[in-house]
Structure 1
Amino acid sequence: MRYLAAFLIFILTLPALAEEVVLGLSKDTVSIDTSFDGSEILIFGAVKREAPIPAEPRLQVIVTVSGPSEEVVVRRKEKRLGIWVNTDAVEVDRAPSFYAVSTSTLLGLSLTDTEDLRHRVSIPRAIRSVGAPDTIEDATKFTDALIRIKSKANQYQLNEGTISIDEQTLFRTAIKLPAALTEGDYKTRIFLTRGGNVISKYETSIYVRKVGLERWLFKLSRENALIYGLMSLAIAISAGWLASAVFRIFRA
């Protein structure tokens, strides 16, 4: 009991966080309609302090924005007898539909590997792949392929050196959201680091939702799949008939 009491007294007498985040967002809701071709979120904030600014190491800021996670099956294709066919497949247990990392300097200088493992900041660490079939020896290549495909579509972003810090107090950055977004909560995290170690963390959310015709079609496909399928078939037939009619007019 004596040791427990001494420990409690030690905890209660610890000082408050020397530095913590006060955050702002240009908007916390993104609406997707038929004309949506992407958006940009401005993330800005300040560092609240209870002590003078340390001279070294310098303050660094990391911002991550993560879309809803989903299971993804990554397949490998091989050419056999002149035909490309699917061979091996690995199921990734959890992969963000969108993931962006912005930093004030190189990520490797902002965060140690230990802190990256603890907070899952980098793109590879944000993806969870528990295991692969025993027959696949190079399972990490499937995760690398997923990152490569998502990065090419601008759905995975590593934006190093894009956060501006003024007087080690005010910071700001802009993150571009692509047109192909999954509806849901986009978890936003801000990390303050010194010497590669996280000294403060702040979390908030950006809500992405479909509106108008996009929302109606999305709900119809989920709640009335048969009607949605018949309507899609009718639209396809009508479009084909219209294209054929236009072709006959110009041909005549």
Structure 2
Amino acid sequence: MIRLALLLLALFTLPARAEEVVMGMSKDSVSITTDFDGSEILIFGAVKREAPIRTDPPLQVIVTVAGPVEPVTVWRKARRLGIWVNTDAVEIDAAPSFYAVATSAPWDEVITDVEDLRHKVSVPRAIRSVGAPMNILDSQSFTDALIRLRESEGLYQLRANSVELRDSTLFDTAISMPANIVEGLYSTRVFLTRDGRVVSQHASVIEVRKVGLERWLFNLSRNQAPLYGLLSLAIAIAAGWGASAAFRAMKSG
């Protein structure tokens, strides 16, 4: 009974958190239209304190933006009889469709491996692959291949030293979202770290959605697939006829 009382006393007399992050965004939604060519989100914030600023070890900031998570099948190609064909495949259980990480310093200075594993901050940690076929011993190479592919498409980004931190109090960074992002809810997290350990974090959400003609075509393709197919065929025929007519006009002229 005495131990329980001492424990409760210790809990109630703990000091308030010395540093706490608050954040904001230039916009909390992104609209995908027919002429959408990407978007840039400005993420900014400040550090609330109950004590004077500590400079040793220095404060660091990490910002992540993650798109909807989905399973992905990654195939390996091999040459068979002079033809490249799919051979082995690994099912990755959950991979974000988009993932960007921005830091205020080089990666190895902002977070430890243990904290990265705990909070799943880096791109490899954000991908979950539970198992692989028994006949595939190098399953990690499939995850690495997915990361390389999405990095080349601008969907996975590691942007070290891109968070500007002023006086260990105010910070901001810009995250570029390419034109090939998918719609859904994008989780945004900000971490404060010292000596590689997370001391505070905050999360928010960005909504990405199709609007206008893009939304109408998307709904049509999902809800009325036969009509969507006929419409696509009609558009293709009209485009072909128009190109042919223009070519004949140019030739006759």
Same fold (TM over 0.5): yes
2:235 aligned partner, one-letter code:
I
2: CA distance, partners of 1:54 / 1:250: 73
1: CA distance, partners of 2:161 / 2:138: 32
Structure 2 residue runs without a partner (length 5+):
none
2:4 aligned partner, one-letter code:
L
C-alpha distance after superposition, 1:165-184 (max 9, x if no partner): 11110111111110111111
2: CA distance, partners of 1:7 / 1:178: 51
* Residue 7 of structure 1, CA deviation: 1.8
2: CA distance, partners of 1:15 / 1:36: 49
The residue aligned with 1:247 is 247
1: CA distance, partners of 2:53 / 2:154: 37
2: CA distance, partners of 1:180 / 1:68: 13
1: CA distance, partners of 2:47 / 2:217: 43
Give the number of aligned pairs: 252
Map 1:1-252 → 2, pairs under 5 A: 1-252=1-252
2: CA distance, partners of 1:238 / 1:77: 38
C-alpha distance after superposition, 1:61-105 (max 9, x if no partner): 000000001111110111111101000011111100100000000
SS in 2 for 1:198: strand
TM-score by length of 2: 0.96
2:217 aligned partner, one-letter code:
L
C-alpha distance after superposition, 1:140-195 (max 9, x if no partner): 01000000000000000000000111111011111111011111111000000000
2:231 aligned partner, one-letter code:
M
1: CA distance, partners of 2:26 / 2:239: 41
Deviates more, 1:23-32 or 1:95-104: 23-32
1: CA distance, partners of 2:109 / 2:214: 42
* Residue 24 of structure 1, CA deviation: 1.4
Identity among equivalent pairs (%): 63
SS in 2 for 1:74: strand
1:98 aligned partner, one-letter code:
F
C-alpha distance after superposition, 1:111-140 (max 9, x if no partner): 000000000000000001111100111100
2: CA distance, partners of 1:12 / 1:92: 45
1: CA distance, partners of 2:125 / 2:60: 20
* Residue 251 of structure 1, CA deviation: 4.2
C-alpha distance after superposition, 1:14-47 (max 9, x if no partner): 1111001121111111111111101111111110
1:80 aligned partner, one-letter code:
R
2: CA distance, partners of 1:74 / 1:127: 13
2: CA distance, partners of 1:93 / 1:79: 27
* Residue 8 of structure 1, CA deviation: 2.0
1: CA distance, partners of 2:38 / 2:87: 35
2: CA distance, partners of 1:229 / 1:4: 69
1: CA distance, partners of 2:135 / 2:4: 52
SS in 2 for 1:75: strand
C-alpha distance after superposition, 1:178-229 (max 9, x if no partner): 0111111110000000000000000001111111101111111111112112
- The alignment yields a C-alpha RMSD, in angstroms, of 1.2
1:170 aligned partner, one-letter code:
L
2: CA distance, partners of 1:154 / 1:146: 12
